[in-house]
Structures are given as structure tokens and as C-alpha cells.
Amino acid sequence: MMPSNDLFAKACGELGVSPSSHVVLYDTHGVFSSPRALFMFRTFGHEKSSIVNGGLPRWADEGLPVDTEPPTKPEPTSYQPPTFHSEAIRSYEDVVANSAFDPKTSIKVELLLDARSRGRYQGTDPEPRPGLSSGHIPNSISLPFNLFLQKNVSSEGIEYTNILPPAEIRRVLEDTIGQEELEDLVNGQRSVITSCGSGMTAGVLWLGLQLLGAKRVALYDEVCGICSSHTFVVSRKN
């Protein structure tokens, strides 16, 4: 899903974004797609970038002004193709090779966290898109992305989410992978890969790990269901 350097620079320039701009990202679910967009900006080295925690629904619920006029066309800027931080991405081949090893056997094996629902991970729930294999990548760990989120209801009855505070994210991770493993991630002793079905909600796990200061966090940027049907021996719970 990542664009090329040239396409990213072209899109930023057309949107009036310059390399010195502070880009603020939000979505209509609260926190859902904005972490993925933030991941993209950070991977292209645009560090001055943030999300609105709670998105547009929280903004409106707190009585902040909302503009309902059609957007105006921004003044184009010059945005040169940036440096792509390739260490933030794991490829299909990377994940296939890593999946052959149990992370318990060596700290050099990357920990793969699956952000999909538990039912999809176990292969008991149907996949949302035709042709995707059910189950999960071998030696991956189930960590549904919504465990990093808090549900809210606005005064107008609109549901939205915000990301949990770092202390609560830490508790979720300790319950999932254990305190010792978590410390290895935070200290950079082990690297971690976040994954989902399309590379979108994996961004929520990526953001949560960033908030904890994890040193070596990458995102698997391919569709794991399709890839698994080609090479992976997909694990299922019968």
C-alpha cells in the first residue's frame, strides 16, 4: 500500500504540504485509518506529523468548530522526493522467512503481532474479502487492534474510539506477550512486526508501540490472507 517516493512527494505538493509543514491527520471513526497515514508520513521521514486522538467525532463532541464549506484548493508547494526508511517495512519474503521460526527460540526472531479479530486469526470467522485464506501466519501472536482503543459515545449518540494512554497499552501488551518480552521490545532487544489483513489496522498497533517508545517496530505492508494462500502453511484452529 505504500506509494513510491515520487508519488508521495507529488501528492504532498498538490495538497500544499511542504517538508516543514506539521501535518495533522484525523478520520471519522476516531482512531482507525489515521495511524496508517501517520505511519506513511513517518516512514517517508516527515516527522512533523500527528493524529487527532478521537478524530472528527471527538472534536465535534467537545464543541470545537466544524467547517461545513466545500474545501478550497490549496496552493501547491515544492516537495522533493524524500528518503524512504525501508527498515519500517517488512516484505512478503521477510515475513515468510521469519514465520519459519518460533520467537521463543531466539531473540533474533521478529515478533509478529496480528491486529485482526481473534475469530479471523483462529480461522473461525469468515474473511471480509473473497479469496483470502482464513487462519494466521505461523508463529504470529493475536493482538486485535481494538484492544489498544477505548470506545466512546458522543452526546449525539455517535460512537468513536481513541487510543488508550501508554500505561493501559503497556498492560494490554503484558497480558498478551508477557512483561519480559515487552521490555525486550521497548529496549530494542527484539524487533516487532505489526500485521493485519491489508496493512491498515496494523497501524494502530504500530502507533501503540510508538507511544511506549519501542525501538524497532516495522509493519507488514502486504495482504497476509492472499500471501498465505501462496506460500505460508496457514495455521487454523479446527
Active site members: 196
The H or E element containing residue 153 is strand 149-153
* Spatial CB neighbours of 203, under 8 Å, sequence gap ≥ 6: 33, 35, 36, 37, 38, 39, 194, 219
* Spatial CB neighbours of 232, under 8 Å, sequence gap ≥ 6: 96, 99, 133, 137, 138, 224
Please answer whether residues 121 and 136 qualify as being in contact, where contact means their C-beta atoms are separated by less than 8 angstroms: yes
Question: From CA 150, how far away is CA 101, in angstroms rounded?
Answer: 34
The helix/strand count (H/E) of the chain reads as 9, 9
Return the number of other C-beta atoms located less than 10 Å from residue 128's C-beta. 11
Please answer whether residues 69 and 11 qualify as being in contact, where contact means their C-beta atoms are separated by less than 8 angstroms: no
Backbone φ and ψ of 229, nearest 5°: -70, -20
Please answer whether residues 94 and 189 qualify as being in contact, where contact means their C-beta atoms are separated by less than 8 angstroms: no
Backbone φ and ψ of 13, nearest 5°: -60, -40
